[in-house]
Chain A
């Protein structure tokens, strides 16, 4: 068979993404029709920039989801086909089996795997880890930033000092340290995970307690139930048989996170939360001077109720915008980690690792590195545009 021309490649790729196009069109039609009822999300559809950003982001989200369902991919991302090593985009398979897709659309990498399928599979990893890790970073940043801004004084000085200390630490060095076998041996990453992941627990506990304090009958069972479940999840998350932190007996341990991913999580949370901390602190300092905060104080509300129910909801605009931007940074960070071969397994199809693999032969074969690079770029660009759109729209009216 002849190799595909560029035009054919593009047509076939577009065709391959069909489920994504359908989902995008459905999502946009629905959103635009009901945009007046959808609050800030709906307003996004008044801004061209925001819409483009949202489309880019959702493209990768849908790609990730469908990819995870093995829908868009043309080949198994890990299997190697002999004769396809470093082949150019559009190269036909030498001996296609029955039902096998007869081309490597974006060519093959140096292990003769399909670049296109790896890119699609990689999207799922990025789409999963980046928002979740960012969410954790936000929980930590918010839980510490609110009291720093609200109380001020010594507490603020102390916390801000630590935040600055972490921000001043070279990130890459930190990652290297965290994944060095000797350090892993001492259990430091596991202990850090133990500390960092407790924050969501504190956050939710305080949130519910302050809200329902006046109704002990509702509060106590609610707190028990929610904290029980979260606590279990938390313990399952941090405890791993054989590692330094092994608190749960195996049969209670719901799931194990691969050590690599855990380190990625810890690193991302660790380097992002100081920045979130500073933003939240600044917002809290501003909002605490409002009269509704004074009104809450004069009716004797506790400090955590004020922080979480009077201050935090009114800081949400800037926080949502920052959340989008920060997912973008995290995506890049994941890429960087993968690029340095840190964290995820070397087999992993995530974009950073793939770019790193392709790097070695970059001078001869461009495509194995360029494809994931473009994917990463478009996703981060989308997140930035989305953040811009949200900011613009939330400032209006």
Chain B
């Protein structure tokens, strides 16, 4: 689309959007303005529920039955979208504005071949011939770097992996060569290394086609990597807006500052420099405070001033298009060092409580579900020779992407599955082949788990208190209902929830609060080993800090051994004592946090470190993009599990990587890697993350 328009592509001016429910009007977005220039990428960040998606849907004019733009304008290339007819809107939506959602399958038709879906776009919007459309489809599929484009065009969506599906959605969006691309958390459902590759792709294509982008994310690091400008939202309002550099380095709003202080940037340390969670809770749209929305949680709040008036957006003098919604931004000393919060002693790891020795877990799956004969089965090696020790008061992080065998390992440890080979020693007792129903109550109570998804971790039909009491009953704690109720209230205290929550239903709690209940439940039987399966990854950053701190605090008090499963290396670096990196069932690297985070790395660890977005402009990262997806555990590659994506493979002579599974190599001080690379090659590795001197 070539036209001579050269003003802003998208100009949102004082936009207000409300949803009308049976009970009340819910103002989801208020007085929101942003401008996207041609070729510019603007990031929209904020916690869930702050109105990011609503803005995007507003631009698409797709607010559903009960949503309505109550004020302001949305101009696309100078034309007001609010005043267009349905016909015009349809035209623009298909060909000039494209949107990419978090869940790729939401945009794909499961019953139609990829090629056909892609070809429809130009055939409908541009009246292209079938031949042209096919060539164009082939072109974009090649552009989004999918292997074997012809085969992809001929397959159905479900035959592709999540990463590949998302690439197809991007390809579909690009088919029309839109001038504006809206991406709503496009990579949240993907693994880190896949996310890095998709983000890379989006950036590259944006440049190639000159597309402007509105990039919605809750991840500041990701916005830093992809965008030119950023707009921070809080509770329906934009609170700060400016170039990436201005906002990251010279933030002018207390919320932005608090947000940065609650994420684990390099240098944060759980003992010396703990994270600072934002106190209080996000206000519900109909319970917003008078005056400044952030007031009740703001460190600089001034009664009679901050709550006395509506706060307008004010330009920050001296910076380019930098504005903030804070009355006191010129009075606050933005460079004042953080008041040193309570520094805690690093607890000494105690004796070994849990020992895994060459643990293996293989699953047999019928090769053909329907007509499978006996012996016609395939073996999936979900865990391959896992060995490690965990001590009292120690945090061992288990890092890896989906399918690497983390959950299987947790299941075997909990006794939901029994091991195929090897042993698990809990206080020197073998438990690897005792299924949970044969374990004694004490063992069951000792090993407990905190789950990932806060919306799934509690039974929606039972009160919070009842669920904790049930755990107490099962673990045989307390002699009467009264005693158990008392203990339950104490547990609520322990996880810092008000006692009144005992009688609430889970749906009345926020994600972070549910996760706290999950923690209380896990500690009901005084667990000594807690497996935390991505306990904070589904929470907002400001809540993550609070929940992480809570876990650390309980761990310090109770000398718990914490097995922290995560794919987020920033948080792992912050809280783990030792780190175990897994890939396709293998432990590829194991060592203390310092050892794992500095060279020599295992090639996979190196790529993982490079993939994690870090929200710090000082950080210089080495750029390593992994090709392809994680192979399926059903069909692992021969030799080294990582060989299909490894960039160091060529350094190993004789194609050894493809032939032999590498041995475990000891690098001293308990640091081990599983790789064929020679000592000299390992020693030649450079650090991935470097913090530029100030």
Provide the bound-state CA to CA distance between A214 and B479, in Å: 11
Residue of A214, A299, A316 ringed by the most chain B CB atoms within 10 A: A299
Stretch at the interface among B172-180, B233-241, B319-327, B446-454: B446-454
Bound-state Cα–Cα, A236 to B317, Å: 89
Docked complex Cα distance between A309 and B471 (Å): 13
A292 and B414 contacting across the interface, CB-CB below 8 Å? no
Q: Are A291 and B456 in contact (CB under 8 A)?
A: yes
Q: Tell me which residues across on chain A come within 8 A of B471, comparing CB atoms.
A: 299
Mark each residue of chain B from 601 to 637: 1 if its CB lies under 8 Å from any CB of chain A, else 0. Answer: 0000000000000000000000000000000000000
The one of B445, B457, B460 in contact with A295, judged by C-beta atoms closer than 8 angstroms, is B457
Question: How many residue pairs between the two chains, A and B, have CB atoms under 8 Å in the bound complex?
Answer: 61
Q: Answer whether A291 and B474 are a contact pair too, CB < 8 Å, given A299-B448, A300-B444, A313-B462.
A: no
A214, B459: Cα distance in complex, Å: 19
Report how many residues on chain B are interfacial, defined by Cβ distance under 8 Å: 31
8 Å CB interface, A276-307 against B: 290-292, 294-302
Chain B residues numbered 417-456 whose CB sits less than 8 Å from any CB in chain A: 436-437, 439, 441, 444-445, 447-449, 451-453, 456
- A314 touches B (CB below 8 Å): yes
Chain B neighbourhood of A46, CB < 8 A: 22
Chain A neighbourhood of B476, CB < 8 A:
214
CB pair A291–B436 under 8 Å, yes or no, is no
Check A215 for interface membership: any CB of B closer than 8 A.
yes
B521 contacts chain A at the CB level, 8 A cutoff: yes
Instruction: Please determine whether B459 and A310 come into contact, CB atoms closer than 8 angstroms.
Output: yes
Query: Are A214 and B451 CB-contacts (below 8 A) given A300-B444, A313-B459, A314-B461?
Result: no
Contact A301 B474 (CB under 8 A): yes
Closest chain-A Cβ to B26's Cβ sits at a distance in Å of: 12
B475 at the interface (CB under 8 A from A): yes
Identity of the chain B residue whose Cβ is nearest the Cβ of A289 in the assembled complex = B456
Q: Known: A313-B459, A313-B462. Contact between A300 and B441, CB under 8 A?
A: yes
Interface positions, chain B 482-535, Cβ under 8 Å from A, are: 518, 521, 525
The minimal Cβ–Cβ distance linking B75 to chain A, given in whole angstroms, is 34
Also in contact, A299 and B461, with CB within 8 A (given A46-B22, A291-B451, A291-B452): no
Q: Looking at the assembled complex, report how far the CB atom of B423 sits from the nearest CB atom of chain A, in whole angstroms.
A: 20
| Bound Cα distance from A302 to B451, whole angstroms | 20
Q: How far is the CB of A43 from chain B (nearest CB, A)?
A: 9
Q: Quick check: is B70 within 8 A (CB to CB) of the other chain?
A: no
Determine how close the nearest CB of chain A comes to the CB of B35; give it in whole angstroms. 36
Q: Which of B453, B461, B521 has the most CB of A within 10 A?
A: B461
Residue of A nearest to B472 (CB): A214
Given contacts A290-B456, A295-B451, contact A300 B439 (CB under 8 A): yes
Tell whether B307 is near chain A: CB-to-CB under 8 Å: no
Q: Chain B's nearest CB lies how many Å from the CB of A151? A: 14
Q: What is the CB-to-nearest-CB distance from A35 to chain B, in angstroms, rounded to a whole number?
A: 10
Q: Are B473 and A215 touching (Cβ within 8 A)? A: yes
- A316 to B473 alpha-carbon distance, docked (Å): 25
Q: Which of B390-420 contact A (CB under 8 A)?
A: 414-416
Chain B residues near A314 (CB, 8 Å)? 459-461
Residue of B nearest to A211 (CB): B470
Nearest to A36 among chain B residues (CB) is: B23
* Contact digits for A5-32, partner B, Cβ 8 Å, 1 yes 0 no: 0000000000000000000000000000
Q: Which residues of A contact B416 (CB under 8 A)?
A: 294, 297-298
By a CB distance below 8 angstroms, the chain B residues around A215 are: 473
Known interface pairs A214-B474, A291-B451. Does A297 touch B460 (Cβ–Cβ under 8 Å)?
Answer: no
Interface presence of B458 (CB below 8 A)? yes
Q: Which residues of B contact A298 (CB under 8 A)?
A: 414-416, 436, 444, 447-449
Write the nearest CB–CB distance from A81 to chain B, whole angstroms. 54
What 0/1 pattern do residues 166 to 208 of B give for CB contact below 8 A with A?
A: 0000000000000000000000000000000000000000000
Contacts of A294 in B (CB 8 A): 416, 449, 451
When the two chains form their complex, are residues B449 and A214 in contact, meaning their CB atoms are under 8 A apart? no
Q: How many whole Å from A293's CB to the nearest CB in chain B?
A: 8
Separation of A301 and B474 alpha carbons in the complex (Å)? 7
Choose from A299, A302, A310 the contact partner of B444 (Cβ within 8 Å): A299
Q: Which residues in B have their C-beta under 8 angstroms from that of A291?
A: 451-453, 456-457
User: Which residue of the partner chain B has the closest CB to A43?
Assistant: B22
Q: In the complex, A228 Cα to B333 Cα: how many Å?
A: 76
Using A291-B451, A314-B461 as known contacts, say yes or no to A300 and B474 having CB atoms under 8 A apart.
Answer: yes
Cα distance, A298 to B521, chains bound together (Å): 11
Check B439 against A295 for contact (C-beta < 8 Å). no
Across the interface, which residues of B come within 8 angstroms of A316, CB to CB?
461
Task: Fill in one digit per residue for B49-80: 1 if any A CB lies within 8 Å of its CB, else 0.
Answer: 00000000000000000000000000000000
Contact at B518–A295, with CB atoms within 8 Å? Answer: yes
A241 CA to B148 CA in the complex, in Å? Answer: 77
Contact between A299 and B457 (Cβ–Cβ < 8 Å)?
A: no
Residues of A within 8 A of B459 (CB): 292, 296, 309-310, 313-314
Alpha-carbon distance between A296 and B457 when the two chains are bound, in angstroms: 10
Give A46-72 interface residues, CB cut-off 8 Å to B: 46
The residue on B at minimum CB distance from A292 is B459
| Complex Cα gap A301–B471 (Å) | 9
**Chain A: which residue is nearest B518 at the CB level?**
A295
- The CA-CA distance from A302 to B437 in the complex, in Å, is 8
Chain A: minimal CB distance from B354 (Å): 16
Residues of A within 8 A of B475 (CB): 299
Least distance between B24 CB and chain A CB atoms (Å)? 13
Q: A113 to B3: give the CA distance in the assembly, Å.
A: 85
Contacts of B474 in A (CB 8 A): 214, 299-301
**CA A294 – CA B445 in complex, angstroms?**
15
| Nearest CB in chain A: distance from B448 CB, A | 7
Complex Cα distance, B456 from A375, in Å, reads: 45
CB-nearest residue of chain A to B410: A298
Q: Report Cα–Cα, A298/B22, bound state, in Å.
A: 41
Q: Which residues of A contact B448 (CB under 8 A)?
A: 298-299
Query: Quick one: which of A85-105 are within 8 Å of B by CB?
Result: none
List residues of chain A with CB within 8 A of the CB of B22.
Answer: 46
Whole-angstrom CA separation of A186 from B616 in the bound complex: 83
Contact partner, A300, options B437, B451, B521, Cβ 8 Å: B437
Closest chain B residue to A290 by CB distance?
A: B456
Contact with B along A301-331 (1 / 0, CB 8 A): 1100000011001101000000000000000
- Given A292-B456, A298-B416, A299-B475: A313 in contact with B461 (beta carbons within 8 A): yes
B470 to chain A minimum Cβ distance, whole angstroms, is 8
Expressed in whole angstroms, the minimum distance between the Cβ of B566 and any Cβ of chain A is: 16
Q: Is there an interface contact between A292 and B439, defined as CB atoms closer than 8 Å?
A: no
Q: Which residue among B445, B447, B456 has the maximum number of chain A CB atoms within 10 Å of its CB?
A: B456
Instruction: A214 to B445: give the CA distance in the assembly, Å.
Output: 14
Output the nearest chain A residue to B439 by Cβ-Cβ distance. A300
A99 to chain B, nearest CB (A): 52
Q: How far is the CA of A291 from the CA of B521 in the complex (A)?
A: 13
B312 to chain A, nearest CB (A): 34
B521 touches A295 (CB 8 A): yes
Q: Which residues of B contact A313 (CB under 8 A)?
A: 459, 461-462
Residues of A within 8 A of B525 (CB): 299
Alpha-carbon distance A301/B475, docked complex (angstroms): 10
Residues of A within 8 A of B462 (CB): 309, 313
Contacts of B444 in A (CB 8 A): 298-300
**Residue from A46, A297, A314 having most chain B Cβ neighbours under 10 A:** A297
- Nearest residue in B to A215 (C-beta to C-beta)? B473
Complex Cα distance, B441 from A231, in Å, reads 34
Given contacts A290-B456, A296-B459, A298-B448, 20 further A-B contacts (CB under 8 A): A46-B22, A215-B473, A292-B457, A292-B459, A294-B449, A294-B451, A295-B451, A295-B521, A297-B416, A298-B414, A298-B415, A299-B444, A299-B525, A309-B459, A309-B462, A313-B462, A314-B459, A314-B460, A314-B461, A316-B461
12 contacts between A and B (CB under 8 A): A291-B452, A291-B456, A291-B457, A292-B458, A294-B451, A298-B436, A298-B448, A299-B444, A299-B448, A300-B439, A313-B462, A314-B460
Task: Name A residues whose Cβ lies closer than 8 Å to a Cβ of B.
Answer: 46, 214-215, 290-292, 294-302, 309-310, 313-314, 316
3 closest A-B pairs by CB: A313-B461, A291-B451, A214-B473
